[in-house]
């Protein structure tokens, strides 16, 4: 039996560290940090998020494929920004390697530029660090920083969510950029990794256009999205409660959508417990929008492939899978 913790990742320990950080800074919380802009007299806030692509990089190194990893980097940052209701504006990257390989580096940056195009952001700058002896030959590290703006009256913070609201699931493009320590633990053999390479390296979906389209359609009816949850590490159970008030939870119906076949294949190969699957992967849902029941029809019509996956309920701030 293979679990995420056995592969080297302790989600519960990471949650405790996040709680510590949130206590230390009032600006930190949710999926991104907000800071009111004084010059706008409290009308707007700056929103910022930072992330990487985790050990998905190891797969890119092993298979020598670097053209999509930059899209993942942008996606992980701008998708978090969206969850606060923000409009992404600028992106910065940090690219560090032991020895600069021009051909490989160009592929990485081209991926970042494509991610910025999809994420409606400008690559404003960044840092390229060449550090001999610090990284293994052929390896590098990436970090991204997304900055945007939100009108305070349009901030998504979950406060308007109430029992009876509906959960709309937006499909993922696969594993996105989470759970790869577990994936590599199961598919440790290079030949096996190469077999699944195309599906494993599919870039993370960027939801900027989808979310903008959804909010515009709902506003025409006097409605809006009430909350957005980016489904990353810790899956739906760990991310959905972050956009719900403390006195509310959610019921998610597992058979309301098709879990990607590759995830079930991986589960079988590694004998991964069902609970670990839900705590490690997005299971086919990359973003969840919370809307009023009256907005469901418009939401489903607006976003191709979206599906009702559950509802908000009174009670403990957690997700109940049924």
For 283-318, b where at least 16 C-beta lie within 10 A, e where not — what string?
bbbbbbbbbbeebbebbbebbeebbbbbbbeeeeee
Tell me the C-alpha distance between 193 and 210, whole Å.
Answer: 31
Please give the pLDDT value at position 11: 60
290 and 169 part of one domain: yes
Percentage with pLDDT > 90 across the chain? 88
Domain assignment of residue 16, yes or no: no
Q: Say whether pLDDT at 5 is over 90.
A: no
Domain assignment of residue 1, yes or no: no
Q: Which of 20-24, 261-265, 268-272 has the lowest mean pLDDT?
A: 20-24
Please give the pLDDT value at position 81: 97
Residue showing tokens 């939870």? 249
Q: What is the CATH number of the domain that holds 85?
A: 3.30.1330.10
| Last residue within a domain, chosen from 155, 175, 205 | 155
Domain assignment of residue 9, yes or no: no
CA 169 and chain centroid, separation:
13
Domain assignment of residue 2, yes or no: no
Domain count for the chain, please give it.
2
Task: Extract the tokens encoding 171.
Answer: 């499909």
Residue range(s) defining the domain that contains residue 227: 157-322
133 and 198 part of one domain: no
- Closest to 279 (Cα-Cα) out of 10, 41, 87: 10
Tell me the C-alpha distance between 81 and 75, whole Å.
Answer: 10
Spatial neighbors of 75 by CB under 8 A, at least 6 apart, are 115, 118, 119, 176, 177, 203, 204, 205, 206
Mean pLDDT taken over the chain: 93
- Closest to 40 (Cα-Cα) out of 150, 156, 159, 157: 150
| Last residue within a domain, chosen from 121, 155, 189 | 155
SS3 for 11? helix
Q: How many CB atoms lie within 10 A of CB 176?
A: 26
- Closest to 69 (Cα-Cα) out of 117, 37, 42, 105: 105
SS3 for 64? coil
Please give the pLDDT value at position 77: 98
Query: Where does the pLDDT of residue 234 fall: very low under 50, low under 70, confident under 90, or very high at 90 and above?
Result: very high
Please give the pLDDT value at position 20: 58
Q: Which of 23-27, 55-59, 187-191 has the lowest mean pLDDT?
A: 23-27
Q: Say whether pLDDT at 68 is over 90.
A: yes
With a threshold of 0.85, does the pTM exceed it?
A: yes
Q: Say whether pLDDT at 28 is over 70.
A: no
Which burial class, exposed, middle or buried, applies to 261 when counting CB atoms under 10 A from its CB (0-12, 13-18, 19+)? exposed
Please give the pLDDT value at position 29: 56
For residue range 136-193, what is the model confidence (pLDDT) as tens digits? Answer: 999 999 999 999 999 999 999 999 999 999 999 999 999 999 999 999 999 988 888 8
| Last residue within a domain, chosen from 155, 181, 215 | 155
173 and 317 part of one domain: yes
H helices, E strands: number in the chain: 11, 11
């Amino acid at each position: 039996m293979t679990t995420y913790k056995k592969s080297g990742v302790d989600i519960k320990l990471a949650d405790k560290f996040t709680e510590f950080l949130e206590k230390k800074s009032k600006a930190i919380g949710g999926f991104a940090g907000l800071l009111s802009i004084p010059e706008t007299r409290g009308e707007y806030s700056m929103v910022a998020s930072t992330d990487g692509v985790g050990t998905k990089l190891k797969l890119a190194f092993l298979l020598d494929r670097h053209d999509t990893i930059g899209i993942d980097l942008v996606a992980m940052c701008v998708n978090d920004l969206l969850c606060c209701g923000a409009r992404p504006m600028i992106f910065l990257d940090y690219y560090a390697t032991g020895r600069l390989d021009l051909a490989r580096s160009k592929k990485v940056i081209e991926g970042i530029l494509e991610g910025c195009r999809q994420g409606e952001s400008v690559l404003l700058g960044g840092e390229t660090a060449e550090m001999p002896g610090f990284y293994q030959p052929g390896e590098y590290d990436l970090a991204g920083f997304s900055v945007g703006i939100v009108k305070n009256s349009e901030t998504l913070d979950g406060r308007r969510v109430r029992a009876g609201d509906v959960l709309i699931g937006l499909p993922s493009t696969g594993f996105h950029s989470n759970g790869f320590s577990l994936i590599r633990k199961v598919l440790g053999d290079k030949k096996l990794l190469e077999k699944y390479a195309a599906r494993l390296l599919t870039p993370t979906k960027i939801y900027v256009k989808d979310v903008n389209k959804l909010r515009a359609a709902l506003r025409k009816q006097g409605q809006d999205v009430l909350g957005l949850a980016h489904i990353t590490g810790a899956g739906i159970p760990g991310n959905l409660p972050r956009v719900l008030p403390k006195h509310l939870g959610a019921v998610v119906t597992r058979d309301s959508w098709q879990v990607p076949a590759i995830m079930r294949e991986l589960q079988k190969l590694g004998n991964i417990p069902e609970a670990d699957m839900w705590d490690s992967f997005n299971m086919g849902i990359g973003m969840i929008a919370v809307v009023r029941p009256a907005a469901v029809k418009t939401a489903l019509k607006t976003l191709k492939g979206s599906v009702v996956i559950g509802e908000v309920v009174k009670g403990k701030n957690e997700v109940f899978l049924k």
